[in-house]
Structure 1
Amino acid sequence: MKEFFEITKAYQQAIADGKRMALATVVHVEGSSYRRPGARMLVTDDGQLTGAISGGCLEGDALRKALLAISQQKNKLVTYDTTDESDTTLGVQLGCNGIVHILFEPIDAAQPDNPVELLKKVLLKRQNAVVITLFSLLSRTEKQPGTCFLHLQHDNIVVNKCHDLFNSAALLEESTVAYQLSDSFFKVFGADKRKLTGFIEYFNTPPSLVIAGAGNDTIPLVEMAAILGWEVTVVDGRVSHATKARFPKATNVIVTKAEEVVNHVQIDNRTFFLLMTHNYNYDLALLKGLILKDQFRYIGALGPKKKLERMYGELSAEGIVITDSHKSKIYGPVGMDIGAETSEEIALSVLAEIKAVLNDKSGKSLREKTEPIHNRARKPVEYSRDEKEEFLCAVQTVIS
């Protein structure tokens, strides 16, 4: 999500500066690639790049293709075949061993529902969303509809710019599937040679990190979470510590009693709490409030395990039932075992643990994995042999 914030910010600046621009989107990948479908890059007519569609190897050629799209004011699908390591057509050996399809869309700032404006709607409010991008893999002469459909789940807002091709009901059906899967996928629309590939892109809300504690050890934690694009709220009862000046990267800084914290934050399944005030009573009161509310997914408690066991004991003495389900979501001592000592190292350890919990991962070394690193739920589109031969001829034409 952070990349999208940066793109929308650059978009607004480009409008203010009177620049023309295009959006490059990785829409389909066959094999291995540094960036996966959904990666985006905004290109202005003076060559400024915001975001990334590769590890840097495609950006130079992508700039030229984006400028062409801007000049012609026409969507273009460009294919990069990196499977041949000896191929120097692009001037570099990409070594990704995959075929990457990138859609270039010129942006008309006067159009209220251009692709970047649709992304802005996704970011406007904390809710899940689905964006559908349509393109033709089988014909370079066919119209490339591009980013043309948006569904915001909570507000139930629908924007359909491709209504001349498909009605909203047909596309809403696919967005419903994306919500059910909580993931993105590909769908082939149409028949015969008029087939279009749809990238049904699911956007989840960014993680929300609520940190109880405005001490010095919280500062690197806030800054690192902000780098990840997470929403960060710092809460503390001390007016002198909980200030925006101390935490400029925080989304919110709130001075409040521990008992009132749950009333000041929105809690969902992507909200994570950290107890790090170094004030036992404050942490205890917040833990009590969260257990009574019983809606949390993760609570990380700084300090030794004995401290947490003492908290359990005191809460049980008050008649508060702490179930095994509660305890399975409370992590104390907080963080992954990486030998962290300094505040910065502890922040890295804590954020790594939260990221692993967020994605239901173990946190083991990638070299121990036997399956692919990236999610393979987004399988590439399959076509018949005749369709593939026609497609490969088109690819060779584009590359040469």
Structure 2
Amino acid sequence: MANKWLQKLIFEERYFVKELEDIVQAFDAAQNAGMQSALATVVHVEGSSYRRAGARMLITDDGQLTGAISGGCLEGDALRKARLAIARQAPMLVTYDTTDDDDAKFGVGLGCNGIIHILIEPLNVVLPNNPINYFRRFLSERKPVVLITVFALNDKQAAQPGTCALMTGDGKVTGAFPDGIIEDVILTDAADVLKKGDSVTKTYIYANRFTCFIELLQPAVSLIIVGAGNDAIPLTKLAGVLGWQITVIDGRANYVVADRFPMAHTLIVSRPDQALAQLHLDNRTVFVLMTHNYNYDREMLKQLLPLQLSYIGALGPKKRLIRIIEELQEDGLDITPHQLNNVYGPAGLDIGSENAEEIALSIIAEIQAVLMRRNGSSLRYKTSAHSTQNLQMVQSPLSTDA
């Protein structure tokens, strides 16, 4: 049960960065081998599906697949459609209705209950709107961007513009929209997505009717593990599978070594009062304090509390954390309720963890829930169908299309 739940967690999170990294590498390899390729993107989901909007898969003309758009049921048919798109050199929109018995007859049953719309784009390296170019730009910096993908949801036979533009955090836009699209309205919505932090799917009615998947791409989670004991090893392994950027900090040089933490990107040997100067912190940075050294954890928490981080996990009994906080207050540190709200101790969700691997799973799950603003409850109690984006309708006052 835990393994299936972890697999679902991995698929939900990893497409943000890890999947894009894998797709870029696979595209480069295909180019070097002289192969053509196409990108399949889940652009809209109605009801429930294994992957949500934004899931991607690179398909080469020799049948190699990188990434995933489902639990494995759609990939074979998507390969056939991708070869057709490559031959035509034109994007195409494919819809799989898992509520329709006919799909199950053709071997496309997903065990879900939803309608999945997938845009398949042949990739041409010389075109400026090549999605791979946008992925490279996003991956080159730890900054959120918005990717805008345009398609005709109501008419699959119509031209499908595909990936059109990328907006960075400073509002600069790279790319261009086809004729008949109200660019200023879309860019206003894209800026709103950057501000609010949630992707949206909208249908616009102007001279033509078209739908935009306005997608927020966030940098990988930066996990700072303070403590290089044996129980930190499985935590780095699970975080590595998710594609998170991992830093391990400890004052013991013989513990902070690459052989113990091959998944870590950065290893730091430091006293607690000198560690933060060696780090770059942003709103995707989270900490877990697990040195088992009371004074080390206490000094680190003293420095972290004023930083307004989204998540600070503290391993160990609750009374230990309470004692640390009380001592910091007695020393004159002004700790606000908002700061305390971002401290999670004991770290992790209550899933009955006993050993280090299970504790690591519970901590990773809690971090994921906090960053995605979820409560970590069982999906069986969720009342609404799983769909990341709600389809919204926007009609221009100048429209002649009812």
Determine if the TM-score, normalized by the shorter chain, exceeds 0.5. Answer: yes
* 366-375 vs 41-50, which moves further: 366-375
Q: Give the secondary structure class of the aligned counterpart of 2:101.
A: coil
Does residue 306 of structure 1 match 2:319?
A: yes
State the partner residue of 2:165: 149
Q: Give the secondary structure class of the aligned counterpart of 1:179.
A: helix
Cα offset for 1:333?
Answer: 1.8
- The one-letter code of the counterpart of 2:61 is D
Aligned counterpart in structure 1 of residue 346 of structure 2, from 324, 333, 349 = 333
Aligned counterpart in structure 2 of residue 343 of structure 1, from 344, 351, 356 = 356
The CA distance in 2 between the partners of 1:45 and 1:58, in whole Å, is: 17
Cα offset for 1:320?
Answer: 1.5
Does residue 363 of structure 1 match 2:376?
A: yes
Cα offset for 1:50?
Answer: 0.7
Q: Give the secondary structure class of the aligned counterpart of 1:69.
A: helix
Specify whether residues 319 and 16 from structure 1 end up closer, same or farther in structure 2 by C-alpha distance, changes over 3 A only. Answer: same
Asked if the contact 2:48–2:385 (Cα under 8 Å) also holds between the matched residues in 1, the reply is: no
Does residue 322 of structure 1 match 2:335?
A: yes
Paired positions, count: 379
Does residue 160 of structure 1 match 2:211?
A: no
State the partner residue of 1:184: 199
The CA distance in 2 between the partners of 1:106 and 1:58, in whole Å, is: 18
| Residues 322-360 of structure 1 deviation map (CA, whole Å, 9 limit, x = unaligned) | 333332222222222222121101101111221222223
* 30-39 vs 338-347, which moves further: 30-39
State the partner residue of 2:75: 59
Specify whether residues 13 and 316 from structure 1 end up closer, same or farther in structure 2 by C-alpha distance, changes over 3 A only. Answer: same
Identity %, equivalent residues: 49
The CA distance in 2 between the partners of 1:373 and 1:58, in whole Å, is: 18
Aligned counterpart in structure 2 of residue 46 of structure 1, from 62, 67, 70 = 62
Matches within 5 A, 1:234-249: 234-249=248-263
Specify whether residues 85 and 309 from structure 1 end up closer, same or farther in structure 2 by C-alpha distance, changes over 3 A only. Answer: same
- The one-letter code of the counterpart of 1:182 is G
- The one-letter code of the counterpart of 1:30 is E
Specify whether residues 362 and 139 from structure 1 end up closer, same or farther in structure 2 by C-alpha distance, changes over 3 A only. Answer: closer
| Residues 89-137 of structure 1 deviation map (CA, whole Å, 9 limit, x = unaligned) | 5334344333322111111123454112212212221111101111112
The CA distance in 2 between the partners of 1:264 and 1:165, in whole Å, is: 50
Q: Give the secondary structure class of the aligned counterpart of 1:37.
A: coil
| Residues 54-89 of structure 1 deviation map (CA, whole Å, 9 limit, x = unaligned) | 121111111011011112211111222332225555
Cα offset for 1:242?
Answer: 1.6
- The one-letter code of the counterpart of 2:206 is A
Aligned counterpart in structure 2 of residue 206 of structure 1, from 211, 220, 224 = 220
Cα offset for 1:299?
Answer: 1.4
TM-score (normalised: structure 2): 0.87
Structure 1 stretches of 4+ moved >6 Å: none
Asked if the contact 1:86–1:93 (Cα under 8 Å) also holds between the matched residues in 2, the reply is: no
Asked if the contact 1:268–1:295 (Cα under 8 Å) also holds between the matched residues in 2, the reply is: no
State the partner residue of 1:389: none
Specify whether residues 310 and 241 from structure 1 end up closer, same or farther in structure 2 by C-alpha distance, changes over 3 A only. Answer: same
Aligned counterpart in structure 2 of residue 105 of structure 1, from 104, 121, 132 = 121
Cα offset for 1:2?
Answer: 1.9
Asked if the contact 1:237–1:255 (Cα under 8 Å) also holds between the matched residues in 2, the reply is: yes
Specify whether residues 215 and 95 from structure 1 end up closer, same or farther in structure 2 by C-alpha distance, changes over 3 A only. Answer: closer
| Residues 10-47 of structure 1 deviation map (CA, whole Å, 9 limit, x = unaligned) | 11222222221100111122333222221111001110
Specify whether residues 138 and 336 from structure 1 end up closer, same or farther in structure 2 by C-alpha distance, changes over 3 A only. Answer: closer
- The one-letter code of the counterpart of 1:235 is I
The CA distance in 2 between the partners of 1:254 and 1:304, in whole Å, is: 26
State the partner residue of 2:232: 218
Unaligned runs of 5+ in 1: 385-400
Asked if the contact 1:160–1:168 (Cα under 8 Å) also holds between the matched residues in 2, the reply is: no
Unaligned runs of 5+ in 2: 1-16, 396-402
Specify whether residues 383 and 234 from structure 1 end up closer, same or farther in structure 2 by C-alpha distance, changes over 3 A only. Answer: closer
The CA distance in 1 between the partners of 2:125 and 2:31, in whole Å, is: 7
State the partner residue of 2:385: 372
Q: CA RMSD in A?
A: 2.3
Does residue 252 of structure 1 match 2:271?
A: no
State the partner residue of 2:7: none
Greater relative contact order: 1 or 2 (C-alpha under 8 angstroms, separation 6 or more)?
Answer: 2
Q: Give the secondary structure class of the aligned counterpart of 2:237.
A: helix
Cα offset for 1:295?
Answer: 2.3
Q: Give the secondary structure class of the aligned counterpart of 1:67.
A: helix
The CA distance in 1 between the partners of 2:108 and 2:144, in whole Å, is: 39
Q: Give the secondary structure class of the aligned counterpart of 1:121.
A: helix
Asked if the contact 2:204–2:393 (Cα under 8 Å) also holds between the matched residues in 1, the reply is: no
